Chain A
Amino acid sequence: MAVPDTKEKWTGKVNTLTLGATSEQGGTRTSTVTIGGVGCLPSLEFEGPKGNRPAIAVEVWDGDGEAMPAPLRQVYGDSLKNVADWAKKAVEFGAEMICLKLQGTHPDAGDRSAEQACDDVKAVLGAVGVPLIVWGSGVNDKDNEVLPRCCQAASGENCLFGSITEKNYRTLVAACLADKHKLLAESPLDINIAKQVNILASDVGFALEDLVVFPTTASLGYGLEYVYSIMERGRLAALTGDKLLQQPVLCNIGFEAWRAKEARGTDEEVPGFGPAEKRGPLWEAATATNLFQAGADIFVMRHPEAIRMVSESLDEYYGPKGS
């Protein structure tokens, strides 16, 4: 008797999406990043195309880098004082993209103006050649004032702007449409709401293929199993043909991992977890590799050691970079 073929036959796959634009494409980037295209669950590539290698973006802030945990301050040093230096350092550490977080525009955390934010965007674009993610402060009114200006400032660069939510999307969608950027659609770890945000953006004319989903996540030890199961549900829906969930997924790894006391605490604060310089990067890398298993396509990271470890595991699955 023949062994029955138990392979899944998926009918859908994740959209392929390119970020950044070189001079031929109307931008000034020296490299672009293409993600998505996966048509199977991780490690089950006999069931479908395994798609593009996920990209590692590194976080850069427009404000006070001093708030970074000590192990990160150590490795970044003085570069934290200036967005351009910080971005260069990040590329040195292996960043394929820069994720510029405009948290300094938050009314309670500096309240930087739209002009200042535009300057920061231009400074990063000038300092590095990798594609850019630009992320607002999350305060709706302020984002609606700042981000459209930044969209204009980065016009032609094919950046990823974030984030739109179910409650606030019209302004940023319009701006990204006008300046031809991609959009990050945020939802509170809920595939229904993820879908709803995508529908809302699509209703006002934004192509579903130009969206990246940001599901908000957690780090190791803080509910990662739940995150995993929700992301997996979303991915299964994509593979079974739900066009409203076929967007690549971005995970905010560094932010989540370095919130954990196990990652950021001093050796005295978290005894028994090993030395701080190893603990933090390991926490970040473990979070990232887990969420890779759940289907993440962009990792926003911080520590060079974590970046190195994650790149290595990606090499194992996809082969060495560039190959």
Chain B
Amino acid sequence: MKAMTSKTYTVLFTPEQVEVQVESGTTILAAAAQAGVFINSLCGGDGVCGKCRVIVRLGEAQGGTTNHLTRVEIQQGYILACEGRVMSDLVVEVPPESQLTSDMLAEEHPAEQFAETFLMRTHVPKLDPLVRKVYLELPAPTLENNLADLERLEHALSKSLGTQEFQMGLKITQRLATLLRSSDWKVTATAAYRGSLTEITEVECGNTSRCNLGVAVDVGTTTVMAQLIDLTTGGTMGIASRYNSQIRYGGDIIRRIMHASQEEGGLSTLQQAITGDINSLIQKLQQKFRLGCADITTVTAAGNTTMMHCLLGILPDYIRKEPYVGAAYCPPPFRAAEVGIKINARGLVYCLPCVSSFVGADITAGVMAVEMHKSDKLTMFVDIGTNGEIVIGHKEFLVAASASAGPAFEGTDSHDGMRASAGAIDHLQIYNKDRLLSFSTIGGKPPVGICGTGYIDLLAELLKNGLMDKRGKLNTTCGSKRIRSGEHGQPEYVVIRARDSGRGKDVVITQADIANMLRAKGAIYSAGQVLLQSLGYTFDDVERVLVAGGFGTSLNVESAVTIGLLPDLPRQRIQFVGNASISGAGLAAVSRRKYDEAREIAQSMTYFELSTDPTFMGELVSACFFPHTDIQRFPSVMEALADGRLSKEG
């Protein structure tokens, strides 16, 4: 018998058609990672999430047929990639639901998706980018005007920029004398903002000031988005986005931190994953607009505290350990090359500042973008991401809390949930009890799953049509043909039948999905409630509710109120602002003042710890009901539901 250990096999992944040689016994997930084929895995290979489904078309794999799969699926060759081991040459098909849909709608329909992202950018700030290129025609030195070359340059730059103190690297200083003379004293200086200091990062021959680009990045736990900005005009040129490749090391922050701190080389793996994502987005935008990477001088980045740590390769381990302190909240600008981001060799990465270990730069960026810190109106800013964060305040104060809502509305924890990408159901309505269901998908593609805004509509519709009770239990006795007994005997509601779906399988919402979302919406609402209460306010005092997040392209506010995710306020007070984090990062890139404002916001914002508040648990239980246990808090919903019941009976 041959020794099993040394045997290697070839695994071919379809539809990518990528081959890889692996040792016998390697898991398919590991083989895929080696081949660079992406397979969804939320649990990072622990065999518990059941998302890494693949189909073995040819050859023999061992294991992986768990209770996450139905008997029919097992017969069809489905296994879990993290548990299935390679025992022969294999052909493995990665089905659509397990693939990384690499490009979101962003690229195909930028106008629709991002119209609302920048809704709040009504006041375009004065163009004053973090990194400026200044064309200078220096007077040639004479016996009378005998300033040295560097001082001559600084003097001219100081007149143009109004700043006094400069710094410059040795390499450029060494080249300066020759360069100035060879360019006949006509040069373009790149001046980067470092607070009171200005760094001259580059001096080029002639006038290149027309080519100055920046990239704003939102580093989400789930999705990474990049926006290309022309820093000479402040205009957005294009947007690209993709999934955060760190997902393969775990879907949530805690798993990522554990990977960074406990796996060998874990931190650098995570850093390479995220910088790789950012580089590929930048490359995509460069190709699209036919740019060289030297033209990009600035990257501004916003994300939660852990993501910012990972981006900079800083160990995030202490974030999750008492007393929960991060390594750096307001880092200075760093060389992009040092961070691993491929732009101009001397370009800088500006990270927006974090507030605390659980309130990150995405929140400060968002608050800055929506100008909450300047508003007279009491505003509640709700960011629904892989977690939920809430900021309450106005120009006098800002208080933030983190609601451990979980990623329910990001779709990653649900049976047929997905991120807001092509084919995701983002809106739907149920008519005529249950006979007619109309929906829209992102990009108009055949439906393959449901994204956050789709779930919000779905829950509201199930509730209004009596298909689900206020506790979120599907009504199995109402005679609906769409409600059936699903996996493990749990009830589920069929949203889209296999024949109408883009992946040949039913799209359903399960009882467990609903329970998950009930908790998530309860956590967000009660966080707002407790935070307001601790400040001596009620929801009625809130003049504006701004809902941010990339969980859809637009939010049906009525649905969000119906399920009790948002308070029952006059609807004109509630506004969806899209991805406010990237808006803020973009604003910082084009305005030094905005960048400083973000740092001031981070300094002035107070973090409120909800878990130690004695009323929080009670409020949470009370909010884990559709729309709320204290139904009087939702008068308009109460009325609408009562009307619904009447019309059903009549």
Contact = CB atoms under 8 A, between A and B. Distances in A.
Interface residues of A, number: 14
Contact of A203 (B470, B618, B622): B470
Scoring B471, B621, B631 by chain A CB atoms within 10 A of each residue's CB, the highest score goes to B471
Interface residues of B, number: 14
A170 B477 CA distance: 9
Contact of A200 (B471, B618, B630, B645): B471
Contacts of A203: 469-470, 645
A interface secondary structure, majority? helix
B629 A200 contact: no
A316 B462 CA distance: 53
Contacts of B645: 203
Interface string A165-178: 01100110000000
B152 interface: no
Contacts of B618: 192
Nearest to B472: A166
A195 interface: yes
Interface string A222-262: 00000000000000000000001000000000000000000
B121 to A, nearest CB: 41
A192 B621 contact: yes
Contacts of B631: 199, 244
A196 B477 contact: no
Contacts of B630: 195
A244 B625 CA distance: 14
B473 interface: yes
Contact of B629 (A171, A192, A204): A192
A193 B621 contact: yes
Contacts of A209: none
Interface string B608-631: 000000000010011001000111
Nearest to A190: B621
B473 A196 contact: no
Interface string B260-294: 00000000000000000000000000000000000
B621 A199 contact: no
B624 to A, nearest CB: 8
Contacts of A192: 618, 621-622, 625, 629
Interface in A197-229: 199-200, 203-204
A166 B618 CA distance: 17
A196 B623 CA distance: 10
B191 to A, nearest CB: 59
Contacts of A166: 471
Contacts of A204: 469
A200 B621 contact: no
A171 B473 CA distance: 14
A193 B618 CA distance: 10
Contacts of B475: 170
Contacts of A199: 470, 625, 629, 631
A200 B622 contact: no
Given A192-B618, A199-B631, A167 B473 contact: yes
Contacts of B469: 200, 203-204
Interface in A143-186: 166-167, 170-171
Contacts of A200: 469-471
A115 to B, nearest CB: 24
Nearest to B621: A192
B473 A195 contact: no
A194 to B, nearest CB: 9
Contacts of A167: 471, 473
A189 to B, nearest CB: 12
A199 B621 CA distance: 15
Contacts of B471: 166-167, 196, 200
A306 B537 CA distance: 49
A193 B624 CA distance: 9
B610 to A, nearest CB: 17
A196 B621 CA distance: 10
Interface in A103-150: none
Nearest to B649: A205
B629 A195 contact: yes
A195 to B, nearest CB: 5
B367 to A, nearest CB: 32
Contacts of B629: 192, 195-196, 199
A169 to B, nearest CB: 9
A170 B618 CA distance: 26
A229 to B, nearest CB: 12
Nearest to B625: A196
Contacts of B625: 192, 196, 199
Scoring B477, B622, B629 by chain A CB atoms within 10 A of each residue's CB, the highest score goes to B629
A249 to B, nearest CB: 18
- Give me the 6 closest cross-chain CB pairs, A-B, nearest first: A192-B622, A192-B621, A192-B629, A195-B629, A166-B471, A196-B625
14 contacts: A167-B473, A192-B622, A192-B625, A195-B629, A196-B471, A196-B625, A196-B629, A199-B470, A199-B625, A199-B629, A199-B631, A200-B471, A203-B469, A203-B470
Interface of B: 469-471, 473, 475, 477, 618, 621-622, 625, 629-631, 645
Interface of A: 166-167, 170-171, 190, 192-193, 195-196, 199-200, 203-204, 244
Given A192-B622, A192-B629, 7 more contacts: A192-B618, A193-B621, A199-B629, A200-B469, A200-B470, A203-B470, A204-B469
